[in-house]
């Protein structure tokens, strides 16, 4: 068996070997990452780590039968090709979908920082929280992660880019008698982290939670902060999937060009905005700015190459793999919601009796839109003011109904994972308090 090849030569070798062994077409996706995490636990710097990983995925077609093999680290090219060929023999034929194009080296994104800088940011977050709340216990995770992605295929495509992201996640806990509270928040950026802003967000929630309040059971307005609103948008993201449209599982399968949400909602993606943007998808298709919902009207479903063809169109640049060992499937790399006009404070002031939801327990609504979630951190609103933290409270409703009728978006948009969302005020959800 041949010797292992360096990563930068392995991809070309895999393509050559796949074609020599009878493949009509082949594609190689490579991902390499280096990570430097820093951990604070119980108010103290506890651990520094570093890790590196490299993976290569070969996808090929023999007699139109797809085969996929994955290797991590240095693995002989012959072994990878042999595995992909064996898997190909077990699969049914399908159309070959490969992106055409030349060589593209996209500009690197993000700026790496030193471990010392990560520690400095962690100390700043901890010191500010512990100074205001000496009885709190802080946990902070910070990370600088560099990932390089390269994809090349037998149609002449060869593109790659490197992406450096910085992330911080902080939590503050206190125990006062039988009262336990945990407030957490996170931040992901490309060039620098704003430690003061993250600490301020946590301190604001701790201040709101100084007193407790009881909320009545019934239907009332609910405000989801930017941190909690992702639960709502996850359902809309699923409904916009071209794959779900083909399967008939999306309630919006016949909604193209129709008013499906309130006019306040415009949902889009942008490959040049935010820490989760990227120049091409995992099939090598260039990404581009796309609006999926414009003032409540569904404009477009997102697709990979196969789903786009089956829908009578083309890929929207949204063919991503959940992992190297998976085939491409329609996915969003970022989701942006156009903010509204009023601040979170102004939304709160507009509510006579309701609740503010900041952290939830459990999963989201799913494609059906129905949800019943436990509130991990929430507050009662009375006469336009936050009057205390609520406990043992659930909120239930349907996402599609909530976002189609009376609702309002704040202008306090922030990144929650890969979703850029403002706070959301919806009316008439069912609140149950124990």
Averaged pLDDT, 276-281: 95
* 37 plus 153 within the same structural domain: yes
Q: Among 379, 375, 393, 390, which residue's Cα sits nearest to residue 348?
A: 379
Task: Encode 142-153: b = buried (16+ Cβ within 10 Å), e = exposed.
Answer: bbbbbbbbbbbb
Total number of residues shown for the chain: 434
Domain count across the chain: 2
Spatial distance between the Cα atoms of 219 and 136, rounded to a whole number of angstroms: 35
Q: What is the mean pLDDT of residues 300-324?
A: 96
Q: Do residue 230 and residue 306 come from a single domain?
A: yes
Q: Does the structure show a pLDDT above 50 at 71?
A: yes
To the nearest whole percent, how much of the chain has pLDDT over 90?
Answer: 90
Contact at 8 Å (CB) between 399 and 315?
Answer: no
Would you say residue 1 has pLDDT above 70? no
My answer on whether 222 and 144 are in the same domain is no
Whether residue 5 is predicted with pLDDT greater than 70 in this model: the reply is no
Determine, yes or no, domain membership for 204. no
pLDDT of res. 49: 85
pLDDT at 81: 97
Whether residue 201 is contained in a domain is answered as no
User: Which DSSP symbol is given to 108?
Assistant: P
- 153 with 250, same domain: the answer is no
Residue 305 within any structural domain of the chain? yes
Question: Which residues form the domain of 261?
Answer: 212-434
Confidence class of residue 9 from pLDDT cuts 50, 70 and 90?
Answer: confident
Residue where a domain stops, chosen among 196, 229, 262: 196
Co-location of 429 and 306 in the same domain: yes
Supply the pLDDT for residue 102: 85
The whole-number pLDDT of residue 262 equals: 97
| Whether 251 and 305 share a structural domain | yes
Residue 142 and residue 112 in contact, taking contact as beta carbons nearer than 8 Å:
no
* Residues 109, 256 within the same domain: no
Asked if residue 246 is part of any domain, the answer here is yes
Residues 111 and 138 occupy one common structural domain: yes
Q: Does residue 27 surpass a pLDDT of 70?
A: yes
pLDDT tens digits for range 161-190? 999 999 999 999 999 888 899 999 999 999
Confirm if 36 and 52 have CB atoms less than 8 A apart.
no
| 2 located within any domain | no
Q: Three-state DSSP class for 159?
A: strand
Q: Is the pLDDT of residue 241 over 50?
A: yes
Same-domain check for residues 239 and 191: no
Residue 59 lies in a domain: yes
Does 172 share its domain with 272? Answer: no
What rounded mean pLDDT belongs to the chain?
94
With a pLDDT cut of 70, the percent of the chain lying above it is: 98
* Residue 51, pLDDT above cutoff 80: yes
At which of 196, 220, 250 does a domain end?
196
> The domain that contains 48 carries what CATH number?
3.30.2290.10
Q: What is the pLDDT of residues 152-168, one digit of tens each?
A: 999 999 999 999 999 99
Based on the fold, state whether residues 170 and 223 are members of the same structural domain.
Answer: no
- Residue 206 inside a domain? The answer is no
Bin 309: left if φ > 0, else alpha if -120 < ψ < 50, else beta. alpha
Cut 0.75: pTM above it: yes
Spatial contact of 375 and 356, defined as CB atoms under 8 Å apart: no
Q: Do 308 and 395 reside in the same domain of the chain?
A: yes
pLDDT in tens, 84-136: 999 999 999 999 999 988 888 999 999 999 999 999 999 999 999 999 999 99
- In this structure, the dihedral spanned by the alpha carbons of residues 236, 240, 245 and 250, taken in order and rounded to 10 degrees, is 10
Mean pLDDT of 199-206: 96
Domain-embedded: residue 202: no
Q: What is the pLDDT of residues 125-139, one digit of tens each?
A: 999 999 999 999 999
Q: What is the mean pLDDT of residues 204-228?
A: 95
Last residue of a domain, one of 163, 196, 229: 196
Confidence of residue 207 (pLDDT cuts 50, 70, 90): very high
Q: Please enumerate in sequence order all residues whose Cβ is within 8 A of that of 42, keeping only pairs 6 or more positions apart, or say none.
A: 137, 138, 139
pLDDT of 4 > 60? The answer is: no
């Amino acid at each position: 068996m041949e010797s292992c090849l360096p990563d930068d030569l392995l991809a070309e070798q895999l393509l050559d070997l796949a074609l020599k062994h009878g493949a009509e077409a082949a594609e190689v996706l490579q991902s390499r990452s280096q990570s430097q995490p820093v951990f604070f636990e119980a108010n103290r710097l506890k651990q520094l780590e570093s890790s590196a990983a490299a993976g290569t995925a070969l996808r090929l077609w023999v007699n139109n039968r797809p085969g996929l093999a994955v290797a991590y680290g240095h693995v002989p090219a012959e072994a990878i090709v042999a595995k992909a060929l064996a898997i190909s023999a077990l699969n049914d034929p399908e159309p070959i979908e490969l992106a055409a194009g030349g060589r593209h080296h996209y500009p690197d994104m993000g700026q790496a920082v030193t471990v010392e800088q990560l520690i400095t940011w962690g100390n700043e977050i901890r010191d500010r929280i512990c100074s205001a709340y000496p009885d709190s216990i802080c946990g902070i995770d910070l990370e600088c992660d560099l990932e390089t992605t390269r994809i090349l295929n037998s149609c002449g495509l060869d593109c790659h880019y490197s992406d450096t992201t910085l992330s911080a996640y902080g939590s503050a806990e206190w125990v006062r008698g039988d009262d336990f509270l945990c407030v957490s928040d996170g931040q992901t950026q490309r060039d620098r982290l704003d430690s003061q802003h993250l600490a301020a967000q946590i301190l604001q929630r701790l201040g709101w939670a100084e007193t407790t309040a009881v909320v009545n059971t019934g239907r009332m307005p609910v405000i989801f902060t930017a941190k909690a609103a992702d639960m709502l948008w996850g359902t809309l993201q699923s409904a916009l999937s071209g794959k779900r449209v083909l399967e008939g599982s999306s309630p919006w399968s016949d909604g193209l060009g129709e008013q499906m949400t309130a006019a306040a909602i415009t949902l889009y993606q942008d490959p040049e905005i935010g820490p989760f943007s990227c120049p091409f998808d995992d099939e090598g298709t260039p990404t581009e700015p796309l609006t999926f919902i414009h003032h409540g009207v569904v404009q477009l479903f997102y697709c990979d190459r196969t789903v786009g063809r089956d829908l009578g169109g083309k890929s929207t640049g949204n063919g991503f793999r959940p992992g190297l060992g998976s085939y491409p499937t329609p996915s969003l790399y970022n989701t942006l919601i156009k903010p509204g006009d009023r601040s979170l404070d102004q939304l709160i002031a507009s509510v006579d009796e309701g609740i503010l939801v900041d952290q939830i327990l459990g999963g989201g609504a799913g494609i059906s839109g129905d949800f019943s979630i436990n509130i991990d951190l929430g507050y009662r609103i009375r006469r336009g003011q936050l009057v205390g933290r609520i406990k043992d409270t659930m909120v239930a409703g349907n996402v599609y109904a909530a976002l189609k009728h009376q609702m309002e978006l704040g202008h306090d948009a922030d990144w929650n994972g890969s979703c850029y969302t403002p706070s959301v005020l919806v009316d008439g959800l069912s609140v149950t308090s124990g």
